[in-house]
Structure 1
C-alpha cells in the first residue's frame, strides 16, 4: 500500500503509522534507529529531492520526517514533513530540552492538529550541564501528553519511550485556536487539515477550494504566547553554572574570533583530506590496490570468457565498467567520501557546523544563498559529485541552481586540487595570486548574476545552534558509515553509466573527433598548444586526469596559469554531470553544463589576452 500522497511504502492492513517529528538536530535519527533496528528503507518523496526513512516497529510502520520548525509549506522539507504528519496515527515528537522555548512551538502545533502524541524530552544531559532544571511532570500536565526525559545518544529513556509509545494522547489545544478549528471542522475531513487551512496552507486551501482565512499570524501569536507561558512555569535556570562550552560557542560565532577559528578548521581538514587522503592514502587504494591488484585480476578473469574486442573494452578496457568504475568509486572516491563525512559528522556532532553556517550567512546572502550552502561548498573541495547531492539541504529551487552552478564552475575537487597545487606552486606568488583572484572573481560574479536573474526568492537562515559538546566517536562513525553507504549507492550506477558512455565514444572514434573539433578553440582563444585539447577532454572523464594531462605539455608560466584556470572552470567530470542531471531538471543541467564550458573558455581567453 502507499501513503502520504504518492509515497510508495508497504503498510500492512491494520498497521499504525508512527511518525517522528522534531526540529533539526534534536536526535530523531537515534530514536528512529532504536525503533526500527536493521529494518530500514529510504524512499524519495514524490516531486522533491527529500528522502524519507521508514522501517518497522513490531507490526507497525515508523516514518521519519525532515527536521522542521513548524508544519507548513514554506520549503520542500516542511511540505514533506506536513504530508507525512497529516496521515500519521501516532506522533513521536522529539524535543531538545535545552531549547524548549523554540521546540515547543512545533509541539503545540502538533497538539492543535489533534494527533495522539508522545514527547521525548531529549538532551537532558545538556540541561543539567547548563544548570537548568525542568519540571517534567508539570510539562506533561500542561501539554496533556506523556513526556519522557531522555539522553538518546547514551540510550537513557529509549526503552521507556518504546514502552510508552502506544500511550500517546491527544493534548491540550489552545482554547481560542480550538474555537477557530470547530468553526470550520464540519466542512473539513479532519482537525489536522482544518488547522492547516486556518494557517493558510496553500496546498490545503487548493484541495478544498477555499480562500485564505488570514488567521496565520493570529494563531502563531497565540501559540508563541502559550509557549512562553509554559516555559516560564516549568524551567528554572541557574546561570552561575554556565559552562565553558557557552563561551566557546560565542567565540565561534563572533566574527573577530570565529573567522580565524574557521580558517584553522578548514586548513586542518584540507591538510588531512586534500593532502594525506587525496595524496598518500589514495595512492595506496587506487594505485596499489585497485590498479595493482584488482584490475589485473578482473582482466584475467574476463579474458577467459571474452578474448579482446568491443565487449572486452566495455567491460575491462581503459574506461571499462568493471575497471574504471570500481577503481574510481572504491579506490579514489571512497577514501575521500569517508574522510569528508567523518569530518562533517565531527563538526555536526560538536555543534560547530551550524555555527559555520551562521558565521558565513551574511557573505553567502550576496549570492542568493544562505549559510547552509557552506556545507556543499566545503564538500565540493572533496568531491563535486557528493557536494551536488548535498545541495538537497538548501531551501529553494533558486538556491539549489546557484549552488550547483558554482560547484560545477569554480570549486576544484581534491583530486584535481592536488595536481593544480603541484603545478602552480613552483611558479611563484604572482601566478598563484592570479589564479586565486580569477577563480574567486568568477565565483562572485557568477553568484551575484544568478541571484539577480533567476526568478524566485532565497530562503532565510533558520538554523538550530545546539550546545557545543565533545563529539561521541560511536555516533560520528555511525553517521559516517550511513552517509558513505548512501553516497556509494547513489553514485556507483552513475559512474558505471559514465564509463559506458566514454567507452562508446572511444570505440566509435567520436572522442578523437571531439578533440579535433575543439583544437582551434584551444589554440586561437587560449593560445595553448593543440595537445591541451586532450587534457580538457580527459577532464570530462575525470577532473584530475585533465589537470594531470597538462603536466606533460611544455608550457611557460603564463600558459600554465591560463590552462589551470580553464581546466578548473571547465565542465565537471562525467559523474558530476550525471548527478547534476539527476538532481536538477534537464534544462537546468544543460544550461549549467554549457554555461561552465562557455565561461571557462571566455575567462581563459581574457586571461590569455592580458598575459600573452
Structure 2
C-alpha cells in the first residue's frame, strides 16, 4: 500500500516524469488500463471490488498509479481518503468512465473538474454502449467538461495510442458555476482541490490545513448530481432500437423465474468441472499416479542413500506425514490442480459478468441470514477453498456481515478438496445419503444463519452493486489471472503444509497421537458412537479437512457411522490455513471464540445426529433416512419460525 501526504506533490522522479493517477468508480477498467500501459499484472475482473490497494508502475517516462474504485473523494471510507490524497498529489488524473453508466460516473468526473487538477477523461467500454443501441457525442462532451475525452475499449487495446497522444493535452476541467462562486470567497489561501474538499466538509483536509470544515456539502452534491444528469442528457444519443441479445440475457438472469434454473445449471457445471473433473480426474493423475507412484518412491530412494528412513529424521522427511513426501504430494499433486481449476472457473464467471447477477438473484435469500447478495461470493468461493473465501469476507460492507459470513463458512461449507472425498464416500453409500448430507448442510446454514441474524446486534445492509454487462471472457486474462491467483495461494499455503506435516510427524514419533486418541475416546466413542481410531481423522482434519475425510475411508464402520463422521468432520474446525486467516481477519479474541464455538457445535450436532439416526432406524430401518430428513426439516422450521416471529415482535 502506498501512502501519500500533502507535501509529496513535488516531483522527485525526474524533471520529465509525471505522476499520473487512474481514478474511477469500481469495475470501469482502471486495472485493465494499468496492465496494458505498464505491462504489470493486476487482478482484473468483470466484478466490482477487485483492486484493494494502490499499484504503481512505469508508463513511458511517467509514473502511473492504479487506485481502488470510488464514487467520490469525500473520505467516507478509507479507500476514498487514500484516493483523495493520491489525486491531490497528482500531476495528471486520468478519469476512467464507464460509457454504459456515464450518468453515474460523471458525478466523480464533475468533482475532479471542480478540484482544478489537470485531467482527461477516458470513455471506456464504448462497444458495450453501441451494443445497447446508444452512442455519445464526444465533441459536445469535451466542450461541457472542458477536458479531452478519449473513447476506448481497453480489453481490445482500442484507443490506447490515442490516450498516449492526448496525454499532453490534459488540463483542468470546467468547474460548476456554484462551486466557482463559493470558492471565490472561501479558503482563499488553499490550493483549489484542498479548498473544495474543505468547503464540502472533509474533516481530514480541513484539519491538516487548520481551517474549519464547511457546511455546503449537500448543496454542492445536489448541484453536481444535477450537472452530471444534464451532461448525460445532452450527450447521449439513441442510434438504434435494437437491443443486443447479451443485454436481454442479462435481464433474464436476475429474474427468479429464469435466473434460478440458470443458477442451478451453472452450479452443476461448476461442480462437474471443479468437484469432478479437477478434484477427481486431474488429481487422480497428478496425486495418485505422478506423485504417489513416481515422485515418492524416487525421493525415498534418494534419501535412503544418505539417512536411515526408519530414524526420526527419516520419518520427518519421508515418513507417512513426511515433509518431502506427504507435504509435497499434497501441495503439488492435490492442491495445485484443485486451486488452478477452481480459479479458471471462477475467473470465467467473474469476467463474463455473471457473478454480479448471482449476487442480485440471491440477495433476498441471503437477507434471512443477516447478509446481502454480495455474500454469495465468499459462499461460492468457500466450496473451492474456505481459506480464500474467508479472505474475501473483507469485501462485505459491515463487521456484522463479516462475522456471520466467517462463522457460516467455517462451520458449514466444505472445500472442494474435502467435497471430492465426501462425494466418493457418499457415492458408495447411495444417493439417499448424498441427499441427506446436502439437506443437513443447507439446514445448518439456514438455521445457524437465522439465529445469528436474530441475536447479533444490527441488521443487514441493502445490496448496492454495479451490474457489469455480460461479455465473453478474454482467454488471456482468464489464464493469467488464474495462474497469478494460484501462484499467490500456493506460495502462502506451502509453509502451512510443511508445518502441519512436521507436527503430525512429531506426534507420530513421540506417540502423542495415540494419547490424543485416548483422550478423545469419550467424545468419539461415548458421544458419537464411533470407533476410537476416528480421533486421528479429526486431528488430520484440523491440518487439512480432506486429510480427515480421507482417513475415514481407512476405518471400518457401518454406513450410519460413516455418515455421522462425515457430517461431524464437515462442521469441525477448519484447517490450519483457514484458522490462521480467521485469527488474522477477526483478531485473536474473536477468532478463539469462533474456534471453540464451532468445535462445540460440531460434536453436539454430531452426537444429536447419531441419536436421531438410531431412533429412526429403530422405528423402521427402511425409512431411516426419510424419517431423519423429516425430523431435521421440522427442527429447521421451528427455529426459523420462532426467530422470525421474535424479530417481528421486537
TM-score by length of 2: 0.85
Cα displacement string for residues 510-546 of structure 1 (whole angstroms, at most 9, x for unaligned residues)? 4333333222111222222222211111111221221
Partner of 2:3: 3
Note closer, same or farther for the CA distance 1:599–1:78 as it changes in structure 2 (3 Å cut).
farther
Other structure's SS at 1:169 match: coil
Aligned residues: 602
Partner of 1:536: 538
1:220 and 2:221 are equivalent in the alignment: yes
Task: Say which of 396, 414, 421 aligns to 1:412.
Answer: 414
In 2: Cα distance, 1:498 partner to 1:113 partner: 54
CA contact (8 A) 1:383 1:414 kept: yes
> What aligned pairs does 1:380-459 form with structure 2 within 5 A after superposition?
380-428=382-430, 430-454=432-456, 459=461
Note closer, same or farther for the CA distance 1:313–1:555 as it changes in structure 2 (3 Å cut).
closer
CA contact (8 A) 1:36 1:56 kept: yes
In 2: Cα distance, 1:292 partner to 1:79 partner: 55
1:417 positional shift? 1.3
Note closer, same or farther for the CA distance 1:404–1:298 as it changes in structure 2 (3 Å cut).
farther
Note closer, same or farther for the CA distance 1:528–1:73 as it changes in structure 2 (3 Å cut).
farther
In 1: Cα distance, 2:603 partner to 2:206 partner: 50
CA contact (8 A) 1:39 1:56 kept: no
> What aligned pairs does 1:148-547 form with structure 2 within 5 A after superposition?
148-181=150-183, 183-186=185-188, 190-201=191-202, 203-204=204-205, 213-303=214-304, 307-308=308-309, 309-428=311-430, 430-454=432-456, 459-547=461-549
CA contact (8 A) 1:281 1:335 kept: yes
In 2: Cα distance, 1:515 partner to 1:12 partner: 64
Other structure's SS at 1:119 match: strand
In 1: Cα distance, 2:446 partner to 2:279 partner: 27
**Which consecutive residues of structure 2, in runs of 5 or more, have no partner in the other structure?**
45-50, 615-650
480-489 or 27-36, larger mean C-alpha shift: 480-489
Note closer, same or farther for the CA distance 1:520–1:120 as it changes in structure 2 (3 Å cut).
same
In 2: Cα distance, 1:405 partner to 1:134 partner: 47
Note closer, same or farther for the CA distance 1:581–1:425 as it changes in structure 2 (3 Å cut).
same
1:153 positional shift? 1.1
Other structure's SS at 2:368 match: helix
1:73 positional shift? 4.1
Task: Say which of 134, 137, 147 aligns to 2:136.
Answer: 134
Partner of 1:45: none
Name the Cα RMSD after superposition: 3.0
In 1: Cα distance, 2:306 partner to 2:12 partner: 46
Note closer, same or farther for the CA distance 1:521–1:95 as it changes in structure 2 (3 Å cut).
same
1:342 positional shift? 1.6
> What aligned pairs does 1:35-114 form with structure 2 within 5 A after superposition?
35-38=37-40, 50-114=52-116
In 2: Cα distance, 1:508 partner to 1:581 partner: 29
Cα displacement string for residues 46-91 of structure 1 (whole angstroms, at most 9, x for unaligned residues)? xxx9343222224433221222333344445444434443433322
Other structure's SS at 2:384 match: coil
Task: Say which of 602, 605, 608 aligns to 2:604.
Answer: 602
In 1: Cα distance, 2:74 partner to 2:473 partner: 32
1:116 and 2:134 are equivalent in the alignment: no
Other structure's SS at 1:240 match: coil
Other structure's SS at 1:121 match: strand
CA contact (8 A) 1:132 1:238 kept: yes
1:371 positional shift? 1.9
Note closer, same or farther for the CA distance 1:114–1:450 as it changes in structure 2 (3 Å cut).
farther
In 2: Cα distance, 1:559 partner to 1:245 partner: 50
Note closer, same or farther for the CA distance 1:163–1:329 as it changes in structure 2 (3 Å cut).
farther
CA contact (8 A) 1:409 1:571 kept: yes
Note closer, same or farther for the CA distance 1:415–1:3 as it changes in structure 2 (3 Å cut).
closer
1:369 positional shift? 2.3
In 2: Cα distance, 1:439 partner to 1:596 partner: 14
1:571 positional shift? 0.9
CA contact (8 A) 1:76 1:395 kept: no
In 1: Cα distance, 2:452 partner to 2:264 partner: 27
274-283 or 26-35, larger mean C-alpha shift: 26-35
In 2: Cα distance, 1:158 partner to 1:21 partner: 16
Bigger Rg, which one: 2
Note closer, same or farther for the CA distance 1:110–1:427 as it changes in structure 2 (3 Å cut).
same
Other structure's SS at 2:54 match: strand
Note closer, same or farther for the CA distance 1:495–1:578 as it changes in structure 2 (3 Å cut).
farther
362-371 or 132-141, larger mean C-alpha shift: 362-371
In 2: Cα distance, 1:181 partner to 1:39 partner: 41
Note closer, same or farther for the CA distance 1:496–1:143 as it changes in structure 2 (3 Å cut).
farther
CA contact (8 A) 1:41 1:53 kept: no
Other structure's SS at 1:63 match: strand
CA contact (8 A) 1:75 1:396 kept: no
Note closer, same or farther for the CA distance 1:332–1:81 as it changes in structure 2 (3 Å cut).
farther
In 2: Cα distance, 1:214 partner to 1:455 partner: 33
Other structure's SS at 1:241 match: coil
In 2: Cα distance, 1:179 partner to 1:321 partner: 71
Other structure's SS at 1:353 match: helix
